[in-house]
Amino acid sequence: MDGTDERIAHAPLPTGGELRRRRNVLAQLGRFIGTSWTMWRLARAHH
C-alpha cells in the first residue's frame, strides 16, 4: 500500500481560529479582491 490513509490520519487539524477565518465571508471577499486585483495588474502589464 502507499500509506495514504496513514498520512491523512496524521495530518494536522485546523485550530478553532483557523476554522473561523476560513468561514469568515468578509475575509474571503478581501482575499478574492486582492487576488483579482493582482491578476488584473499583471494582465495589464503584460498585454
Mean pLDDT over the full length of the chain: 92
Q: Within its chain, how far is the Cα of 13 from the centroid?
A: 15
pLDDT tens-digit map of 27-44: 999 999 999 999 999 999
pLDDT of residue 31: 94
Instruction: Identify the residue whose cell numbers are 487576488.
Output: 35
Separation of alpha carbons 42 and 34, rounded Å:
12
Q: Where are the domains of the chain?
A: 16-46
The DSSP string of 20-33 is HHHH-HHHHHHHHH
Under 8 Å between Cβ of 35 and 43? no
pLDDT tier at 1, thresholds 50, 70, 90:
low
- CA-to-CA dists, residue 1 to 6, 8, 12, angstroms: 10, 14, 22
